[in-house]
Chain A
């Protein structure tokens, strides 16, 4: 492409000839015109993007909310509904302070059964895996100290090896079997049958350990607060 364009520039206007009508060659274009052209183009581009965004944003948000809803119910088996509690000044609150932005607050999803009793707490957390950050949502029961489920939300782990953390059913099922917390990652088959052991995936030790590490860190972060009492259901 470079060769072509430089060749074209050379043949633009032979001396004395009329400038080609297709390509108006302007000498000394004013700086104002250069700035104005880009500014007008930028404004038009911005308007176009804003218009499309207006249309697509609700769809995108609805999809995200739906994905989250599905994930929360998946990691909290037995939950009939859940409420989002935000961590505001060290306390769990179902509402945000006025004018606060939702994204700035950490949150937990507390699941309740039909009778309004708490069945567990779901939190999401991301930490570095083998390739990139692995995002996980996990559900646990703070009273019994057991994990109720785990789902990988985002991962770029190696296809065929690390991606078994969400594709290998045998590995994933271990997290739904109610293992005790904190988890210990062991080499597959070498466990002693302890209730907190998770068999790691052969060939994907780092990815497997990432999953258990994220779960343990998330539980360690939230457990002290949740052991003071799980928030009551606000809207029975």
Chain B
């Protein structure tokens, strides 16, 4: 059911309450695959942020011209176009990050978080509200990726943003930069969030 929300709620909702990665569990592929360092997480977030904002604006402004029957194809076309642009611009201006992220930039196309926002929100709302919604979702995605990237880089490499945190005696916990570490970290973050949520509820009830 469409809910009545204020523009401010459109923006804030995606950041925490309906965080795409931590609550909706969407877009987990990039969230797990490329968050072994903060830098990679940031590059992936920036590319996704660009794609979701541009796609939401374009989809909401063109919603009158897109027949329902081909709307999914049209959304994918819009998303794929912006992903290709992001891919080329990253390759030109941040070649090192582009090499690190590899195929995962092209795979932003199939990030269901982006398609989900088009289908559930942009195709039914005004341009401004769609943009706010996209910005909120993008920030939520960025927060989740930075949390994952931060934990994994600190534990798995012993650095934060390439700055060494521990002395030379630190033995990196290599599993955290491997795919398994991504699943573990995400699991613990969600566990922690669930725990605080429970306590908050218990506190409110008391």
Q: Scan A39-54; emit 1 where CB is below 8 A from any B CB, else 0.
A: 0011001001100110
Please classify the interface of chain A as helix (H, G, I), strand (E, B), loop, or mixed, using the class held by over half of its residues.
helix
Whether B69 and A41, one on each chain, are in contact in the complex, defined by CB atoms closer than 8 angstroms, is no
Residues of B with C-beta under 8 A to A59: 92-93
**Chain B minimum-CB-distance residue to A26:** B67
Q: Scan B1-27; emit 1 where CB is below 8 A from any A CB, else 0.
A: 110000000000000000000001010
Contact residue range for chain B?
A: 35 or more
Q: Scan A176-211; emit 1 where CB is below 8 A from any B CB, else 0.
A: 000000000000000000000000000000000000
Residues of A with C-beta under 8 A to B92: 55-56, 59-60, 63
Decide yes or no: A41 and B78 within 8 Å by CB, A159-B177, A161-B174 being known contacts.
yes
- Select B88's contact among A37, A52, A63, A158, beta carbons within 8 Å: A52
A91 to B174, CA, bound (A): 47
Residues of A with C-beta under 8 A to B102: 156
- Select A41's contact among B2, B77, B93, B156, beta carbons within 8 Å: B77
Whether B91 and A52, one on each chain, are in contact in the complex, defined by CB atoms closer than 8 angstroms, is no
Whether A8 and B124, one on each chain, are in contact in the complex, defined by CB atoms closer than 8 angstroms, is yes
- Select A1's contact among B36, B65, B67, B119, beta carbons within 8 Å: B119
Residues of B with C-beta under 8 A to A14: none
Q: Is A103 in the interface zone, CB < 8 Å from B?
A: no
Whether A52 and B64, one on each chain, are in contact in the complex, defined by CB atoms closer than 8 angstroms, is no
A1-23 CB contacts (< 8 Å) to partner B: 1, 4-5, 7-8, 11, 22-23
Decide yes or no: A45 and B88 within 8 Å by CB, A7-B1, A38-B70, A160-B177 being known contacts.
no
Q: What is the CB-to-nearest-CB distance from B202 to chain A, in angstroms, rounded to a whole number?
A: 28
Q: Is B178 in the interface zone, CB < 8 Å from A?
A: yes
- Select B174's contact among A26, A48, A60, A159, beta carbons within 8 Å: A159
Residues of A with C-beta under 8 A to B74: 37-38, 41
B62-89 CB contacts (< 8 Å) to partner A: 63-70, 73-74, 77-78, 80-81, 84-85, 88-89
Whether A53 and B88, one on each chain, are in contact in the complex, defined by CB atoms closer than 8 angstroms, is yes
Q: What is the CB-to-nearest-CB distance from A37 to chain B, in angstroms, rounded to a whole number?
A: 6
Please classify the interface of chain B as helix (H, G, I), strand (E, B), loop, or mixed, using the class held by over half of its residues.
helix
Residues of A with C-beta under 8 A to B172: 160
Decide yes or no: A37 and B66 within 8 Å by CB, A159-B177, A159-B178 being known contacts.
yes
Whether A60 and B91, one on each chain, are in contact in the complex, defined by CB atoms closer than 8 angstroms, is yes
Q: How many chain A residues touch the partner (CB < 8 A)?
A: 35
Whether A33 and B67, one on each chain, are in contact in the complex, defined by CB atoms closer than 8 angstroms, is yes
* Number of inter-chain CB pairs below 8 Å: 85
Q: What is the CB-to-nearest-CB distance from B33 to chain A, in angstroms, rounded to a whole number?
A: 12
Whether A5 and B66, one on each chain, are in contact in the complex, defined by CB atoms closer than 8 angstroms, is no
B22-66 CB contacts (< 8 Å) to partner A: 24, 26, 36, 63-66
Q: What is the CB-to-nearest-CB distance from A152 to chain B, in angstroms, rounded to a whole number?
A: 12
Residues of A with C-beta under 8 A to B73: 38
A160 to B89, CA, bound (A): 30
Q: What is the CB-to-nearest-CB distance from A185 to chain B, in angstroms, rounded to a whole number?
A: 23
Q: Is B95 in the interface zone, CB < 8 Å from A?
A: yes
Q: Is A97 in the interface zone, CB < 8 Å from B?
A: no
Decide yes or no: A60 and B95 within 8 Å by CB, A23-B124, A41-B74, A49-B85 being known contacts.
yes
Decide yes or no: A56 and B69 within 8 Å by CB, A24-B64, A158-B178 being known contacts.
no
Whether B77 and A45, one on each chain, are in contact in the complex, defined by CB atoms closer than 8 angstroms, is yes
- Select B85's contact among A24, A52, A57, beta carbons within 8 Å: A52
Q: What is the CB-to-nearest-CB distance from B70 to chain A, in angstroms, rounded to a whole number?
A: 5
Decide yes or no: A37 and B67 within 8 Å by CB, A48-B81, A49-B84, A158-B178 being known contacts.
yes
Q: Is B116 in the interface zone, CB < 8 Å from A?
A: yes
A53 to B93, CA, bound (A): 13
Whether B91 and A4, one on each chain, are in contact in the complex, defined by CB atoms closer than 8 angstroms, is no
- Select A49's contact among B81, B120, B174, beta carbons within 8 Å: B81
Whether B174 and A160, one on each chain, are in contact in the complex, defined by CB atoms closer than 8 angstroms, is yes
Q: Is A34 in the interface zone, CB < 8 Å from B?
A: yes
**Chain A minimum-CB-distance residue to B123:** A23
